[in-house]
């Protein structure tokens, strides 16, 4: 069970900020940017928030590089998202570009293609009674929402063997 620390309002601002930060980290790992935003939202002054985050980084409780790698792996395998969408998510969470690039380097193009293909195959298997144009449109829409590139989508459609009347 998650155990939260009580905030002592009489304590100094640094210990209050530390308690708020530790409570925020109980639920899930957070990036430096997310934690700073959380502290500011809770009314902690900027210099106190920065000092608190710096101390937590020194202790190893916040590591944007590790956070980015874990987030990338999780989102790519469970949500079947493309590298482009994952990069946007990480940027919105305040992760620096270098950490994002390092994390995304772990996903090669072939792995991204296999993810897109398995996702499309699962969708395609439910549409056997539909016209080929509708099948193509739905598979394309799904893969576009997941952030895959046009070249990847085209390759997947070709490999699935769906042909519209125009292509025959």
CA–CA gap between residue 46 and residue 30 (Å, rounded): 18
pTM for the full predicted model? 0.83
CA–CA gap between residue 78 and residue 95 (Å, rounded): 21
13-59 fold: Arc Repressor Mutant, subunit A (1.10.10)
Q: Would you state the structure tokens that stand for residue 166, as one six-digit string?
A: 């125009």
For 12, 26, 27, the CA distances from 3, given in Å and listed in that order, are 22, 8, 10
**What residue has token string 């995304």?**
104
Q: Provide the residue-wise pLDDT of the chain in tens; the chain has 168 residues.
A: 445 555 555 678 899 899 999 999 998 999 999 999 999 999 999 999 999 999 999 999 999 999 999 999 999 999 999 999 999 999 999 999 999 999 999 999 999 999 999 999 999 999 989 999 999 999 999 999 999 999 999 999 999 887 765 554
For 10, 91, 94, the CA distances from 26, given in Å and listed in that order, are 23, 22, 19
For domain 109-160, which CATH number applies: 2.40.160, 3.30.160, 1.10.10, 3.10.620?
1.10.10
């Amino acid at each position: 069970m998650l155990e939260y620390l009580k905030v002592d309002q009489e304590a100094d601002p640094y210990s209050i900020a530390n308690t708020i930060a530790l409570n925020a980290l109980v639920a899930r790992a957070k990036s430096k940017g997310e934690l700073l935003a959380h502290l500011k939202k809770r009314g902690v002054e900027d210099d106190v928030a920065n000092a608190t985050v710096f101390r937590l980084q020194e202790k190893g409780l916040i590591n944007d590089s590790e956070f980015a790698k874990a987030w990338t792996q999780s989102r790519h395998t469970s949500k079947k998202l493309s590298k482009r969408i994952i990069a946007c998510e990480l940027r919105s969470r305040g992760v620096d570009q270098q950490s994002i690039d390092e994390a995304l380097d772990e996903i090669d193009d072939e792995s991204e293609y296999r993810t897109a293909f398995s996702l499309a195959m699962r969708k395609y298997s439910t549409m056997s009674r539909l016209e080929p144009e509708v099948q193509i449109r739905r598979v394309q829409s799904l893969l576009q929402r997941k952030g895959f590139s046009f070249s990847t989508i085209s390759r997947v459609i070709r490999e699935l063997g769906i042909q519209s009347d125009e292509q025959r």
